[in-house]
Amino acid sequence: MVKAKGFHHGDLKRALLGAALELLDEQGDAGVGIRAVARKAGVSHAAPVNHFKDRRALLTGLAIKLFDDIQTNISKRLESVSNDPAMRIESVVKSFFEYGAEHPNRYALLWRNDVVDHECDEMRIREDAVYDFICNEINNLTAGRNIDTDTVAIGLWSMMHGYIDLKIVGMFEEREDSVTGEDRPEALIKMFRTIFDQYGL
């Protein structure tokens, strides 16, 4: 267990977020509290207040870290993708699909308005960065066409998040597309690509 006296400047915040992440994976957000995180990190119950004034601030800080992790995954995936806007959009969607499947508790926390402060500047910057990227690529696809970018982006975002969220709560079983044999997320992505093609996007 990490000992408080071993911390150097800046290490405590990382240790607290690391402990919070472990608890989130084990118990969901309900298990992530100031006292539980302090105990997990091996520090006094009062220590976290130096970085997180309350549980909401702690969970917001954790959500910011998770968004950074997702953005790192997206950036790595984009390095091996062509400049085709549709493929770049698909890379973002695949990153979220994979993240939700591998880390359901982490993904669920990202969209919790009751325990995460989405008005926090650091959160808004990260959320807007992903949405703006998708909108920019949609604009590249629809250049010269009378298309509402936000409508397309919201439709794509709703499909992606809706599937992941319902999968996490157990509403969808692990099944393949009966025609193509592909797993459901891949089939959904190709379905959206077909819609793009049908509308000449």
Q: Are 71 and 126 in contact (CB under 8 A)?
A: yes
Query: DSSP letter at 148?
Result: -
Residue 148 makes CB contacts below 8 A (sequence gap 6+) with none
Residue 146 makes CB contacts below 8 A (sequence gap 6+) with none
Residue 105: its pLDDT value, please?
97
Alpha carbon separation from 5 to 2, 35, 41, 43 (Å, rounded):
9, 18, 12, 9
Residue 198: its pLDDT value, please?
64
Helix or strand holding residue 125 (H, E) = helix 121-141
Residue 4: its pLDDT value, please?
45
Q: Which domains does the chain have, with CATH numbers?
A: 1-53 (1.10.10), 56-198 (1.10.357.10)
Residue 200: its pLDDT value, please?
58
Residues of the chain below pLDDT 50: 1-5, 8-9
Residue 194: its pLDDT value, please?
77
pTM: 0.85
What digits encode the pLDDT tens for the residues 116-153? 999 999 999 999 999 999 999 888 887 777 888 899 89
